[in-house]
């Protein structure tokens, strides 16, 4: 499906009609049609090229199904072949009486570089892509529900295959959107999975909506970003996006999109119109969050030593970090969750760092820690496990994650309070 200009202009202009609607029409449970607005960017259009160059290039690649973009086509195909139960989603054209619209919006990308292995004649690529499934009211332009989506693109590509593509990274991002050889790990399937955690019933969120409002890194440890692979600003953006995804994914709850500027009260959607070759935009109001999430990252430390006497090219690397998670209840005006987590990973690395990215290692361990932290809120059995220390062992690495506390009862009380007050899909 190719969304025409008339449809998008309709979505932009519908706010003027809200004045003429009776209040009851937007206060009751909504059972009407939802217009599919396709794929977009959660950025002003003049920032897309700078902040998401790989995603932008990949998103403009044409589909082998129709004349639309590749990702749009396969999202449409998935939604058409596997319709969402109890949802009247308008994939073809638009319903003029629809009060809600749904879009998938890219929010950020992270490129951890390339690493050449001349012995294997291959190049390693690692990229992250974050986005949101956004449901919004087309009349008052308010976000109704939002769930985060993440895709990880890890590839080992032969030098020969690289020669076939003028832009290998965009090609790999395209494969992360959708590919038939590994569909379950693609963005299309992740989008479908997270849709199950989204509500389509009411105009507004329940009052317990969460939002990551601040990510903090100690100034005295800024030297860690020298030769790191990511700037401090980019790492903080990753931390905000990863926290948002981990919270929504592990707690199975909607959550507002992360904004680097927490003072912003609106989000911008930009969508490319293939007819005009221009970006259309719409500004959506962000509802006030009840739960404000703050992350205090303490930084990290690497320690290295020779792996074995007879394996002089290999190093044993020890990576450690810690972070504090604080959740503030804006209704009660008090902190309702405050816990500290640390993680340590030991792994084997090539001494010349040919296949090593410090930024990737730190970001992966950060994300793994966040997911386990929020899983401890959701699952009381896992809560006990991580307080004691959750260990993970593979052939080439080991890791431990721990909630640092001597007050397990307090941890449980705080966790249950958050869990009981979070918005549930059926509560809308």
User: How high is the pLDDT of residue 264?
Assistant: 77
Q: Which residue has the higher pLDDT, 195 or 365?
A: 365
Which residues have a Cβ under 8 Å from the Cβ of 4 and sit 6 or more positions away?
A: 275
pLDDT in tens, 312-340: 677 889 999 999 999 999 999 999 999 99
Parallel, antiparallel or unpaired: strands 334-350 and 311-329: antiparallel
User: How high is the pLDDT of residue 48?
Assistant: 92
pLDDT in tens, 68-107: 778 888 888 888 888 887 788 898 878 888 989 999 999 9
In 3D space, the residue among 160, 156, 256, 248 whose CA is nearest the CA of residue 209 turns out to be 256
Highest mean pLDDT among 141-150, 247-256, 323-332: 323-332
Of 135-149, 204-218, 407-421, which gets the smallest average pLDDT? Answer: 204-218
User: How high is the pLDDT of residue 330?
Assistant: 93
Q: Which residue has the higher pLDDT, 414 or 424?
A: 414
Distances (CA, A) of 343 to 174, 232, 348, 394: 33, 20, 17, 16
User: How far is C-alpha 268 from the chain's CA centre?
Assistant: 16
Parallel, antiparallel or unpaired: strands 397-404 and 334-350: antiparallel
Q: Is the pLDDT score of 149 beyond 50?
A: yes
Structural domain count, the chain: 1
CA angle 325, 329, 335 (to 5 degrees): 50
Binned at pLDDT 50, 70 and 90, residue 351 comes out as low
Of 41-55, 195-209, 231-245, which gets the smallest average pLDDT? Answer: 195-209
User: How high is the pLDDT of residue 413?
Assistant: 97
Share of the chain above pLDDT 70, in %: 86
Which residues have a Cβ under 8 Å from the Cβ of 181 and sit 6 or more positions away?
A: none
CA angle 211, 243, 402 (to 5 degrees): 125
What integer is the mean pLDDT of 35-64? Answer: 89
Strand partners, 328: 292, 335
Q: Which residue has the tokens 């020969």?
A: 160
Torsion sign, CA atoms 26, 30, 35, 38 = positive
What integer is the mean pLDDT of 116-121? Answer: 82
Strand partners, 142: 137, 285
What integer is the mean pLDDT of 181-194? Answer: 84
Provide the CB-side half-sphere exposure for 65 (13 A, CA): 14
User: How high is the pLDDT of residue 181?
Assistant: 79
The residue range of the domain holding 345 is 5-427
Q: Is the pLDDT score of 15 beyond 50?
A: no
Prediction pTM value = 0.87
Highest mean pLDDT among 203-207, 260-264, 397-401: 397-401
| Residue 165, both tokens | 């593509």
User: How high is the pLDDT of residue 22?
Assistant: 32
CA distance 361 to 366: 8
Of 213-222, 245-254, 416-425, which gets the smallest average pLDDT? Answer: 416-425
| Residue 161, both tokens | 């295959």
């Amino acid at each position: 499906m190719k969304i025409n200009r008339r449809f998008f202009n309709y979505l932009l202009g519908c706010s003027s009609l809200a004045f003429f609607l009776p209040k009851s029409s937007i206060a009751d449970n909504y059972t009407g049609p939802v217009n599919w607005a396709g794929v977009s960017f959660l950025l002003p259009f003049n920032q897309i090229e700078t902040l998401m160059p790989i995603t932008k290039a990949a998103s403009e690649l044409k589909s082998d199904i129709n004349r639309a973009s590749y990702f749009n086509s396969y999202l449409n195909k998935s939604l058409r072949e596997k319709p969402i139960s109890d949802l009247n989603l308008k994939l073809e054209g638009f319903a003029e009486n629809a009060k809600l619209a749904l879009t998938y919006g890219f929010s950020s990308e992270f490129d951890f570089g390339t690493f050449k292995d001349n012995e294997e004649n291959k190049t390693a690529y690692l990229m992250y892509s974050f986005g949101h499934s956004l449901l919004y009211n087309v009349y008052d332009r308010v976000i109704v529900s939002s769930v985060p989506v993440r895709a990880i693109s890890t590839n080992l590509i032969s030098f020969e295959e690289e020669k076939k593509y003028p832009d290998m990274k965009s090609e790999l991002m395209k494969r992360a959107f959708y590919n038939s050889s590994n569909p379950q790990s693609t963005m299309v399937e992740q989008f479908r999975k997270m849709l199950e955690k989204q509500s389509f019933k009411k105009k507004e969120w329940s009052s317990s909506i969460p939002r990551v409002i601040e990510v903090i890194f100690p100034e005295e440890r800024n030297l860690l970003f020298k030769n790191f692979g990511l700037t401090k600003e980019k790492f903080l953006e990753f931390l905000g996006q990863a926290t948002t995804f981990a919270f929504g994914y592990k707690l199975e709850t909607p959550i507002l999109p992360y904004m680097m500027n927490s003072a912003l009260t609106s989000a911008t959607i930009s969508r490319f119109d293939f007819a005009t070759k221009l970006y259309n935009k719409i500004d959506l109001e962000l509802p006030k969050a009840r739960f404000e999430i703050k992350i205090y990252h303490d930084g990290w430390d690497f320690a290295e030593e020779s792996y074995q006497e007879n394996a002089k090219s290999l190093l044993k690397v020890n990576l450690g970090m810690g972070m504090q998670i604080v959740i503030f209840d804006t209704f009660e005006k008090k902190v309702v969750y405050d816990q500290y987590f640390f993680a340590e990973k030991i792994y084997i690395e090539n001494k010349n760092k040919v296949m090593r990215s410090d930024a990737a290692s730190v970001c992966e361990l950060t994300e793994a820690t966040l997911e386990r932290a929020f899983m401890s809120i959701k699952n009381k059995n896992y809560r006990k496990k991580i307080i004691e220390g959750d260990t993970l062992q593979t052939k080439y690495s080991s890791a431990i994650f721990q909630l640092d506390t001597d007050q397990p009862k307090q941890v449980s009380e705080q966790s249950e309070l958050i869990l009981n007050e979070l918005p549930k899909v059926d509560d809308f």
